[in-house]
Amino acid sequence: MDWLNSIVQGVLVGGLYALFAAGLSLIFGVMRLVNIAHGDLIVLAAYLALATTQTLGVGPLGSLLVIVPLMALIGYTLQRFVLNRTLGEDLLPPLLVTFGLSVILQNGLLQVFTADSRKLQAGLIETASIPIAEGLSLGVLPLLQFIVAVAVIAGLQALFYNTPMGRAFRATSDDPSTAQLVGLDNRHVFGLAMALSLAVTAVAGVFLGVRANFDPSIGPARLIFGFEAVIIGGLGNLWGTLAGGIILGVAQAVGAKLDPGWQLLAGHLAFLFILAIRPQGLFPRVQD
Amino acid sequence: MSETLLSVKNLEAFYGDFQALFGVSLEIGAGEVVAIVGANGAGKSTLFKTIAGQIPSRRDAVTFAGEPIGGLRAHDIVRRGVALVPEGRRLFRSLSVQENLQIGGQAGRKGAWTLERVYGLFPALRERRAQPAAELSGGQQQMVAIGRALMSNPKLLLCDEISLGLAPIIVRDIYARLPMIVAEGTSLAIVEQDIVQALAASTKVYCLQEGRVALAGASQSVTREKIAAAYFGV
Amino acid sequence: MSAQAAHIETATRASRIGVVAIALALAALAAAPFLTDGANLSLLAQIYAYLALATLWNLLAGFSGLVSVGQHAWVGLGGYGLFALTIFGGLHPFAAIPVAGAVAALAAVPVAGLLFRLRGSYFAIGSWVVAEVMRLAASQISALGGGSGTSLPVRVVASIAASRQEREFAVYWSALALVVAILALTIWLLRSRWGLSLRAIHNNELAAVSNGVEVARVRLFVYVLTAAGTAMIGALIFLQKLRISPDAAFSVNDWTAFVIFITVIGGVGRIEGPVVGVVVFFVLRQTLADLGTIYLMMLGLVAILVMLKAPQGVWGLVADKWGVEIVPLQRRVIYAKSAPGEPASARKEEPKP
Ligand SMILES: Nc1ncnc2c1ncn2[C@@H]1O[C@H](COP(=O)(O)OP(=O)(O)OP(=O)(O)O)[C@@H](O)[C@H]1O
Ligand SMILES: [Mg+2]
């Protein structure tokens, strides 16, 4: 039962990793951009949520009403004014600019919020749990977080395949120059994609902040978890990304059960193992 | 002659340092069908791409409906009513047939062309609307490409080699629909390798040779000899 | 044109002046221990380390298109290699440095096997994962202090040299020797046939892919070589520090971010870039380091601005404006004046993809 418990917790954490991954996967899908600052943007969202809860006196979930649109706005602006200039044949500019951004964000957060660990306080819900069986219970918060992750991914899936915006994303991804011929402004479409990516990031940041302590330095590790979930699941497949997140979460939980020092290592090793035996990921999107 | 819809004056176009067009001038009137012919590499596609905004040009080199549009970005030019059916069709491969058409309509111009009307024009597409565009035959793909451009309700439709790689019977079928497009008030410019086809479908013809206009005239009045001379510069 | 009448020359006028200047500068730097104090020596050794790291990253990312953001993996491996080899293996520290490099080269082969499955930008993050794995693994080695690290035992420190001053001198000279060797090797490599393939990959990957086997081999070779060089520098860095911990050894800021910023600011894809970048970096650091986090933010901002506004970097701006090239990589074919009807001017021999 102990083991089952760990695995269930791992699955639930996997939802959070899928949230980290979804935003990363989305912008890669639309514009082949890999945003190295993605993890730091998640942490930024957590700090913005902290500031919101403190100034407006709302709870972390309430703060989403502010943080989601705010992060979307930041995403759109960032894309239009900075990242669009880096897109092209050469992959160095986007990588280096987002890498520079990562350093700026980390140190900016350090400057404003200091290196102290923080946490978002969600009140009673944090300790509430639903007993399932003897020795196995589901925390309400992890469960909620998992449900939200699934909902976000379902929502992104629906948006991608059933809305004009999603159509524009897919068309631009297929052939950016022909997309312009049908009236799509790439710069705007990319801006929207980044806005959406950071809106998802905002949700991820709030759950990250409720679940555990955070400080300005933890961004890169979140980037890596998200990245691993994307690769495990297979590029371009959002449900695969959810599966990737879950596999990563379970691997970490099992590792931690064996030896607390092995939690992160086990996750990375699971990733490297899958990369070795199935480089295209477990569920790659069927091409053509 | 009808009132001028598009006028190109002294247009030059470059690929990096390579100059592809040297002072091309031409006019397309409202309701006209204009054919552009010329040998491979003469600059026909370049001319269309420049008009459509895929290649930059001087602002006053292209005037459309009285406004200078040269050098505007492609998405802006579509919104003003110039649509291009690009050479090689360039359909979006991860979109279904219907989605390819719908995305053409996202430019937001109102007019006669709707999904229903396009399916009316090309009935073969209706039953395949849920299929990925890449699964269609060449002729059907070309219909999708034309339909996609029509969905933006253009005042001017530029068609670059719509017969490329298609069987003659299918080419005839597609050309037979062009008058219905013109009937809705859209002017046409077509690039066509088959001179007979080009002359039959058009009211006016321009022949390009190495980036320059070598011949211009009413389609009925030009002889094949004159065109052959303009083609190869002999 | 007759082939006999032409010979290939890789020197330019600027480069000939450069050779003399470099020789003089090297002599002065080699004599530095007798001219300055310990603090300055240690600063110089740090500069050499960054110059070497940046040169290697430039070879990897700027010339071979392998944009790694995980080079701290190899710095850390080199540092830990040095500590393990001297403490458990009983090796002399100076012998441990090349052995640590060899260990890294061996480790780099399977790592490349995995990472090369990831395309372009994902390769970058993958390289970071490898560094994370190594950091976590290092903190599991309890014999080397686990997560909090350890110091180099006195007996090992004493084995370097008889006195503290001699030790500082020895470390300094090995840093100088190592950076000179790495620079020379990089220049030689880029001017060799393999260098031509590399630039073909960088300039036009599609054309180069037609010779895919060669590309894969060259990339693997460069990856392994830079891992070994980076690890040797890492070993030297921690030999100078005398103390190691997983966080210091596998620091992404210190060994990857700074190195990338130096190269970008100086000029990616140019041999001279890291040299210029390292000067800019240390001038900024010596004057602004008191600002702490603000300094780091400024550095990030400068790198972003350079990437957006002048992607050729400071050296690129200078070189393109004045046409100077101290380390010419393009071979020039010089036609002998005696060849009838041929211009005596130089023509650039284009790399054939
Ligand atoms: N992307 C490009 N880069 C460089 N040169 C180009 C490019 N596209 C076309 N060209 C050159 O520009 C000239 C005109 O090409 P263009 O495609 O306009 O010819 P075309 O008349 O459409 O020929 P075709 O009948 O083969 O389609 C040619 O010499 C061609 O080689
Ligand atoms: Mg053409």
Query: Is residue C336 over pLDDT 50?
Result: no
Q: Relative to the CA of B43, which ligand 1 atom is closest?
A: 18
A288: number of Cβ within 10 Å:
7
CA dihedral C68, C70, C71, C75 (to 10 degrees): -170
Smallest CA separation from ligand 1 atom 17, residue: B45
Partners of B103 on chain A (C-beta within 8 Å) are 164, 167-168, 171, 182, 184
Where does chain C show beta strands of DSSP type E? 6-9, 150-151, 243-244, 332-335, 346-348
Position C276 scores a pLDDT of 94
Place of tokens 């693994």: C137
Query: Is residue C232 over pLDDT 70?
Result: yes
**Which of A34, A103, A279 is closest, CB to CB, to C125?**
A34
The verdict on a CB contact (< 8 Å) between B107 and A178 is no
Pocket probe mutation, ligand 1, options B14, B15, B24, B191, max atoms within 8 Å of Cβ: B15
Q: Mind listing the pLDDT tens digit for each residue in C276-306?
A: 999 999 998 888 878 888 888 999 999 999 9
Query: Is residue A91 over pLDDT 90?
Result: no
Partners of A248 on chain C (C-beta within 8 Å) are none
Instruction: Quote the CA–CA distance of A33 and B179 in Å, as a whole number.
Output: 45
Cα(B41) to ligand 1 centroid in Å equals 5
Q: What is the DSSP letter of C256?
A: I
Cα(B160) to ligand 2 centroid in Å equals 7
Nearest residue in chain A measured CA to CA from B134 = A288
Confidence of residue C216 (pLDDT cuts 50, 70, 90): confident
Average pLDDT over residues A239-255: 95
Cα(B164) to ligand 1 centroid in Å equals 15
**Which of C126, C137, C308 is closest, CB to CB, to A97?**
C308
Position C333 scores a pLDDT of 39
Cα(A80) to ligand 2 centroid in Å equals 33
The verdict on a CB contact (< 8 Å) between A265 and C308 is no
Average pLDDT over residues B12-29: 94
- Is residue A265 within 8 angstroms of chain C, CB to CB? yes
Query: Is residue C332 over pLDDT 80?
Result: no
Q: Are B38 and B192 in contact (CB under 8 A)?
A: no
Q: Which two tokens stand for residue A179?
A: 């997309």
Alpha-helical segments (H) within A124-163:
140-162
Q: Are B74 and B54 in contact (CB under 8 A)?
A: yes
Partners of C129 on chain A (C-beta within 8 Å) are 224, 227-228, 268, 271-272
Q: What percent of chain A clears pLDDT 90, i.e. is strictly above it? A: 79
For the purposes of burial, counting CB atoms within 10 Å of the CB of A186, is it exposed (0-12), middle (13-18) or buried (19 or more)? Answer: buried
Give this prediction's pTM: 0.89
A124 vs C128, higher pLDDT: C128
Q: Mark A216-234 as b/e (b = at least 16 C-beta within 10 Å).
A: bbbbbebbbbbbbbbbbbb
B158 vs A6, higher pLDDT: B158
Confidence of residue A105 (pLDDT cuts 50, 70, 90): very high
A1 vs B21, higher pLDDT: B21
**Which of A91, A111, A268 is closest, CB to CB, to C133?**
A268
Q: Relative to the CA of B49, which ligand 1 atom is closest?
A: 18
Q: What percent of chain B clears pLDDT 90, i.e. is strictly above it? A: 83
Q: Which two tokens stand for residue A98?
A: 């987002």
Task: Please state the domain extents for chain B.
Answer: 4-232
Instruction: Quote the CA–CA distance of A224 and A241 in Å, as a whole number.
Output: 13
The verdict on a CB contact (< 8 Å) between A99 and C257 is yes
Q: Give ligand 1 pocket residues (Cβ under 6 A).
A: B 15, 18, 20, 38, 40-46, 87
Position C209 scores a pLDDT of 53
Q: Are C266 and C277 in contact (CB under 8 A)?
A: yes
Position C248 scores a pLDDT of 96
Residue type, B39: A
Query: Is residue B15 over pLDDT 60?
Result: yes
Position C9 scores a pLDDT of 56
Place of tokens 């360039």: B90
Q: Please provide the DSSP assignment of A41-59 as one string.
A: HHHHHHHHHHHHHHHH---
Average pLDDT over residues A94-116: 94
**Which of A94, A224, A231 is closest, CB to CB, to C128?**
A224
Instruction: Quote the CA–CA distance of A43 and A65 in Å, as a whole number.
Output: 17
Q: What percent of chain C clears pLDDT 70, i.e. is strictly above it? A: 83
The verdict on a CB contact (< 8 Å) between A272 and C61 is no
Q: Mind listing the pLDDT tens digit for each residue in B93-109?
A: 999 999 999 999 998 88
Smallest CA separation from ligand 1 atom 22, residue: B45
Nearest-ligand number for the alpha carbon of B44? 1
Task: Find the length of chain A.
Answer: 288
Average pLDDT over residues A15-41: 93
C214 vs B142, higher pLDDT: B142
Q: Which two tokens stand for residue A30?
A: 């639309």
Average pLDDT over residues C79-87: 97
C62 vs C15, higher pLDDT: C62
Cα(A93) to ligand 1 centroid in Å equals 30
Q: Are A271 and A232 in contact (CB under 8 A)?
A: yes
Question: What is the DSSP pairing of strand B187-191 with strand B156-160?
Answer: parallel
Query: Is residue C203 over pLDDT 70?
Result: no
Closest CA to A42 of A214, A232, A283, A286: A214
Nearest residue in chain A measured CA to CA from C147 = A261
Q: Which two tokens stand for residue C76?
A: 């850390």
Q: Mark A255-271 as b/e (b = at least 16 C-beta within 10 Å).
A: bbbeeebbbbbbbbbbb
Average pLDDT over residues A242-270: 94
Partners of B104 on chain A (C-beta within 8 Å) are 182-183
Q: Are A25 and A235 in contact (CB under 8 A)?
A: yes
Query: Is residue A35 over pLDDT 80?
Result: yes
Query: Is residue C334 over pLDDT 80?
Result: no
Task: Please state the domain extents for chain C.
Answer: 36-250
Position C212 scores a pLDDT of 63
Query: Is residue A231 over pLDDT 50?
Result: yes
Could you tell me the CA-to-CA distances from A146 to A12, A140, A153, A211 in Å, in that order? 5, 10, 11, 12
Question: What is the DSSP pairing of strand B82-85 with strand B156-160?
Answer: parallel
> Mean pLDDT for chain B?
93
A81: number of Cβ within 10 Å:
10
Cα(A208) to ligand 2 centroid in Å equals 54
The verdict on a CB contact (< 8 Å) between A181 and B83 is yes
Query: Is residue C225 over pLDDT 90?
Result: yes
Position C328 scores a pLDDT of 65
Cα(B49) to ligand 1 centroid in Å equals 10
Q: Mind listing the pLDDT tens digit for each residue in C164-201?
A: 889 999 999 999 999 999 999 999 988 887 777 776 66
> Mean pLDDT for chain C?
84
Q: What is the DSSP letter of A214?
A: B
Q: Are A171 and B95 in contact (CB under 8 A)?
A: yes
The C-alpha of A115 sits at a distance from chain C's nearest C-alpha, in angstroms, of: 11
Alpha-helical segments (H) within chain B:
44-52, 74-80, 97-105, 115-121, 123-126, 138-150, 168-183, 195-201, 224-232
* Cα angle, residue C163 at apex, residues C158 and C169 outer, rounded to 5°: 100
Nearest-ligand number for the alpha carbon of B194? 1
Average pLDDT over residues C107-128: 91
At residue B11, what are phi and psi to the nearest 5 degrees? -80, 130
Q: Which residues of A touch B (CB under 8 A)?
A: 164, 167-168, 170-171, 173-175, 177-186, 288
Pocket probe mutation, ligand 1, options B22, B45, B49, B161, max atoms within 8 Å of Cβ: B45
Tell which B residues from 93 to 132 touch A, by Cβ distance under 8 Å: 93-95, 99, 102-104, 106-108
**Which of C125, C139, C300 is closest, CB to CB, to A224?**
C125
The verdict on a CB contact (< 8 Å) between C297 and A276 is no
Query: Is residue A242 over pLDDT 90?
Result: yes
Chains with ≥3 CB–CB distances under 8 Å to A:
B, C
Instruction: Quote the CA–CA distance of A225 and A240 in Å, as a whole number.
Output: 14
Query: Is residue C219 over pLDDT 80?
Result: yes
Instruction: Quote the CA–CA distance of B162 and C198 in Å, as a whole number.
Output: 42
The verdict on a CB contact (< 8 Å) between A97 and C307 is yes
Cα(B87) to ligand 2 centroid in Å equals 6
Position C191 scores a pLDDT of 85
Query: Is residue C348 over pLDDT 80?
Result: no
The verdict on a CB contact (< 8 Å) between A107 and C300 is yes
Q: Are C267 and C257 in contact (CB under 8 A)?
A: no
Domain A2-116+137-277 has CATH 3.30.110: no
Tell me, what's the ipTM? Answer: 0.92
**Which of C136, C268, C299 is closest, CB to CB, to A92?**
C268
Smallest CA separation from ligand 1 atom 7, residue: B15
A and C: number of Cβ contacts within 8 A: 121
Position A285 scores a pLDDT of 72
Q: Mind listing the pLDDT tens digit for each residue in A110-140?
A: 999 999 999 999 888 888 888 888 778 888 9
CA B233 to chain centre: 25
Helix (H) or strand (E) holding C211: none
Position C211 scores a pLDDT of 61
Partners of A186 on chain B (C-beta within 8 Å) are 75
Beta bridge partners of B85: B159
Instruction: Quote the CA–CA distance of A128 and A149 in Å, as a whole number.
Output: 19
Cα(B167) to ligand 1 centroid in Å equals 24
**Which of C61, C252, C301 is closest, CB to CB, to A220?**
C252
Partners of C253 on chain A (C-beta within 8 Å) are 103
The C-alpha of A170 sits at a distance from chain C's nearest C-alpha, in angstroms, of: 20
Nearest residue in chain C measured CA to CA from A93 = C307
Q: Are B57 and B47 in contact (CB under 8 A)?
A: no
For domain B4-232, the CATH superfamily is: P-loop containing nucleotide triphosphate hydrolases (3.40.50.300)
